[in-house]
Amino acid sequence: MTTLKQLNTPQQNALGATIVAWAEQLGTLSEDQHGLTCTYMTATHRATAIHLAQWMREAGMHAHIDAVGNVVGRFLSTDPQARTLITGSHYDTVRNGGKYDGRQGILTAIAVVKHMNDKGISLPFHLEVIAFAEEEGVRFKSTFLGSSAVIGQFDPELLELKDRDGILLRDVLAEAGQDLSSIDAIARDPSDLLGYVEVHIEQGPVLLDKGLPVGIVSSIAGSRRFQVEFKGVASHAGTTPMALRKDAATAAAEILLYVEQRCAQDQESSLVGTAGQLHVPNGSVNVIPGACHFSLDIRAANNAARDAAVADIMAKIETVCQLRHIEYTVEQVAEAGCAPCAPWLMAQLSSAVERAGVAPFQLASGAGHDAMLMSRVTDVAMLFTRCGNGGISHNPLETLSPQDADIAARILLDFLRHFKPKPARPATRSAKLSSPAEPATQEYTE
């Protein structure tokens, strides 16, 4: 078995060094003079796409930019009838973001294909690398524009969205020379897909804390978001005795502490709860808060754990508000189901991690990723890589070491070369006769 120590020799870090150098180079293309900003369909964004397409071609892929700006590279199998495995991630960024969020997954795939192409290695399936044009939702406040088109769920009403300068998405695409009438044609045929695998920087501190370069994602958390409004009575801070108050803010404080305590109880399910917005409208230093508005974001690796926490929090709101004579309204503003990763893909990823000399470790993803959308049409898996600097992301301080980039690339390469399509379900005799056999796979040595 190749040990981690062997993998860390300078020569073996070649893939990682390439990935980091490419990320640095793309990071110099920015809408801002200081920091990295690459939002949907700006000149920066389009220049980034052209770079990616060029690197894909140099790596031996057929590359094109589709009607929503996704950069698609295909590394073709020698078997023209073969089905397709997709890998990739997004190339847009938040404002003043990091160089690796999203891009690492794209650049890792390109580096791995280039390596295979240089060594004359072919695969028994088509490998498609997709650099998704939009995931973050920064410019048009709508996330996953790229992957929604790939799964055939791009909502045409989105074309009427405006950016902060009042420019329509429809006009932005037309001006960039994109053919709006061919957006529907981007949709992949699910029966052609073998699965989707995404390499992504963790964007959190778990792997750093565990001392591990990579981890296997078990599930992408589903979230529920609420806007909560408490209404008490605004009265004089000096003349109203403590026992006679209807203070909306202290009632909210009680709920916030409960959310923290309740969500700490189910770490197994990666349950987390956050009140990111907290507001006393028209608050004044000498007035008891008559109103308090706050947001809630509850996430977990499975819907049952998340919903159980939400039910407990709603019951707590009811009890506290009754005791404190507070009126309240709760509005659910968003809900996304969790996307579990496919056990058969996770098992193959785990084996590749183990062969790299790394202990396979599973973790849930608290953040949404393109894999979440892809899971609607095919089985998905994700490999997280260690995020340096305390796990900070969506920030220029986000870091990825060339060693970790290299280990992730070697694991993806090894995974692809050992990849076996999903085992067919045990079939009855008659069903077996009528269903086509899974394509044969081979193992390779360099």
Nearest residue (CB) to Zn ion, 101 versus 247: 101
Q: Which stretch binds Zn ion (CB under 5 A): 4-12, 93-101, 270-278, 346-354?
A: 93-101
Binding positions for Zn(2+) are 90, 101, 136, 200, 394
Nearest residue (CB) to Zn ion, 101 versus 404: 101
DSSP string, 360-420: --EEEE-S--HHHHHTTTS-EEEEEE--SGGG--SSTT----HHHHHHHHHHHHHHHHH--
Q: Which stretch binds Zn ion (CB under 5 A): 36-44, 97-105, 124-132, 218-226?
A: 97-105
Structure tokens at 179: 């053919």
Q: Cα separation of 57 and 50, whole Å?
A: 11
Q: Which stretch binds Zn ion (CB under 5 A): 62-70, 101-109, 339-347, 394-402?
A: 101-109
Query: Using alpha carbons only, how large is the chain's radius of gyration in Å?
Result: 25
Shortest distance in whole angstroms from residue 204 CB to Zn ion? 12
Tell me how long the chain is.
446
Q: Cα separation of 329 and 309, whole Å?
A: 18
> Which position among 16, 27, 98, 102 is part of the footprint of Zn ion (CB under 5 A)?
102
Decide: residue 426, CB within 10 A, 0-12 exposed, 13-18 middle, 19+ buried: exposed
Q: Which stretch binds Zn ion (CB under 5 A): 94-102, 312-320, 379-387, 416-424?
A: 94-102
Q: Which stretch binds Zn ion (CB under 5 A): 99-107, 183-191, 319-327, 375-383?
A: 99-107
Shortest distance in whole angstroms from residue 218 CB to Zn ion? 18
CB-CB neighbours of 339 under 10 Å: 22
Number of residues that bind Zn ion (CB under 5 A): 2
Structure tokens at 384: 């997280």
Q: Is 370 in the site for Zn ion (CB under 5 A)?
A: no
Q: Cα separation of 140 and 143, whole Å?
A: 8
Nearest residue (CB) to Zn ion, 129 versus 321: 129
- Hey, CA dihedral for 381, 385, 386, 388, is it positive or negative? negative
Binding positions are 90, 101, 136, 200, 225, 286, 299, 394
Nearest residue (CB) to Zn ion, 249 versus 405: 405
Nearest residue (CB) to Zn ion, 69 versus 102: 102
Nearest residue (CB) to Zn ion, 98 versus 222: 98
CB-CB neighbours of 135 under 10 Å: 26
> Which position among 66, 101, 128, 414 is part of the footprint of Zn ion (CB under 5 A)?
101
CB 180 within 8 A of CB 69: no
Shortest distance in whole angstroms from residue 102 CB to Zn ion? 4
Binding residues (CB under 5 A) for Zn ion: these are 101-102
